[in-house]
Amino acid sequence: MSRLKHLAALAVVLGLATSLLLSGCAAANAKIASRKGYVRFPGKHYASGEKAEIGTKIEGEASYYGPGFHGKLTASGETFDQNDYTCAHKTLPFGTKLKVVRKDNGESVEVRVNDRGPYVGDRILDLSVAAGKKIGLDKVGHAYVTATVVE
């Protein structure tokens, strides 16, 4: 009978641990879902009806990302391809096209917003590997850029 009590106690403990773990995941998911531009069912919505004003400029540090995310879903619902000219921005509507110019060398690339981020420091953009290489970020990791909405 004592073995049965031990198993019952273990089941209760496992149930409590599972519910605590799931409630922590729910809180994290709620935080992600509250981000502007987040789409709960990405297969149905690839871009919102919002448009960024053409000519809007933002300046700051940009970095690039790719190998660990290649083939995974972006916040817009697209599959991330590190070889496309895309980027992540925290709030610009998906589908916004930006001309990104690196300040120190003048190199530029046109990218399309299809993901959310970056969430490192005060960076303004995460470019795909291809876009990052086009302006030389593969050699320095990150650099100061000006991004202008072109479409």
pLDDT value at residue 106: 97
d(CA 52, CA 78): 20
Report CA dihedral (102, 78, 119, 110) to the nearest 10 degrees.
10
Closest CA relative to residue 124, chosen from 62, 39, 74: 62
- Whether residue 22 is predicted with pLDDT greater than 90 in this model: the reply is no
- In tens, the pLDDT along 124-137 reads 999 999 999 999 99
- HEC states along the chain? CHHHHHHHHHHHHHHHHHHHHHHHHHHHHHHHHCCCCCCCCCCCCCCCCCCCCCCCEEEEEEEEECCCCCCCECCCCCECCCCCCEEECCCCCCCCEEEEEECCCCCEEEEEEEECCCCCCCCCEEEEHHHHHHCCHHHHCEEEEEEEECC
pTM of the model: 0.68
Residue type, 61: E
* Token pair of 119 as six digits: 């969430």
- In tens, the pLDDT along 100-129 reads 999 999 999 999 999 999 988 899 999 999
* pLDDT confidence tier of residue 147, bands split at 50, 70 and 90: very high
pLDDT value at residue 66: 79
Question: Which of 2-11, 69-78, 81-90 is predicted least confidently?
Answer: 2-11
22 versus 3: which is more confidently predicted? 3
pLDDT value at residue 42: 46
d(CA 151, CA 47): 14
